[in-house]
């Protein structure tokens, strides 16, 4: 793998961008985070239970980034209560 910057590892998400009129946007974001965390654990970049800082917006697109979440490195559970 080539690194974009020191400590940045590119993982290509295998699914196409969904139609957000039919799929929940936040669910897609969480699936992408879970995928990235699982890959980072697989490549020994993270260990289970490490804290991961996730930066996202309140909706898709540029200019909406306003949320920081600190989640455990567990691809099955991002530490969020199910709605």
Annotated domain spans of the chain: 25-72
- In this prediction, residue 4 has a pLDDT band, given cuts at 50, 70 and 90, of low
Helices (H), 8-80: 25-42
User: pTM score, two decimals?
Assistant: 0.78
pLDDT, one tens digit per residue, over 30-47 is 889 899 999 999 999 899
pLDDT, one tens digit per residue, over 10-22 is 889 999 988 888 8
Give backbone dihedrals phi and psi of 39, rounded to 5 degrees, phi first: -65, -40
Half-sphere exposure of 73 (CA within 13 A, CB side): 17
């Amino acid at each position: 793998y080539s690194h974009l910057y020191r400590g940045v590892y590119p993982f290509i998400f295998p699914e196409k961008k969904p139609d957000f009129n039919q799929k929940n946007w936040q669910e897609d974001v969480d699936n992408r985070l879970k995928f990235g965390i699982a890959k980072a654990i697989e490549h020994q970049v993270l260990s289970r239970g490490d804290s991961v800082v996730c930066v996202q917006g309140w909706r898709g697109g540029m200019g909406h980034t306003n949320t920081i979440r600190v989640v455990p490195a567990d691809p099955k559970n991002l530490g969020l209560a199910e709605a």
